[in-house]
Amino acid sequence: MTIDTIVFDFGGVLIDWNPRHYYKNVFKDDDKMEWFLNNVCPPDWNLEQDRGRPFSEAIAIAKNKYPDLSKEIEDYYNQWEYMLNGEIPGTVQILNALAQNYKIYGLTNWSAETFPVALKKYSFLSLLDGIVVSGDEKLIKPDPQIFQVLLKRYNLQAESCVFIDDNLQNIETAKTLGFNAIHFTDAENLKKELASLNLNI
């Protein structure tokens, strides 16, 4: 089947999001910052917001456990925009080139409450033909169901899509569903992988 569609993950592929971009200015000490991000507001805590849990609920849970860090916990939402550090070098240029010849979609694990900030901040997202946000769907990758949401909503065939993600679990799920999947490491390798599929970039 001819490839006519490209599906991008966002964080770690197109957008450099990392709470360390903000918290390095809060803690001034890397060990304290890492302890906070591994114990107080760890990745699995944040992933529940990607799954649809409201930040207000998440913050209340964390503050209940660590009341002495209430301000720092609240900042995870209040200062969220400062966790964005611009585009991943080179990838947006690839997206722009692909958009000339292919349909482009997004499939992202992202909180429904914070995604509008990214949508406003990054004009290249307006190039996409459609976006599925995990927080809106109450589903997160690598659950196959969220891939099915994308396929059904936009009337896509997995075999005609290239799926690009920096998370290997998500890549494995995509492959089992029939997607042509590329594990993203950097823009140069992405170009090579796309060229190996005979895509015009």
- Using one digit for the tens of pLDDT, what is the confidence trace for 154-174? 999 999 999 999 999 999 999
pLDDT on residue 51? 97
So what's the pLDDT on residue 28? Answer: 86
Write out residues in the chain with pLDDT < 50, as ranges: none
Q: What is the pLDDT of residue 200?
A: 81
The pLDDT value given to residue 129: 97
56: phi then psi, degrees, rounded to nearest 5: -60, -40
The arrangement of strands across the sheet holding 103-108 comes to 130-133, 103-108, 5-8, 161-165, 180-183
As beta bridge partners, residue 181 has: 163
Q: Is the peptide bond before 142 cis (omega within 30 degrees of 0)?
A: yes
User: SS3 for 9?
Assistant: coil
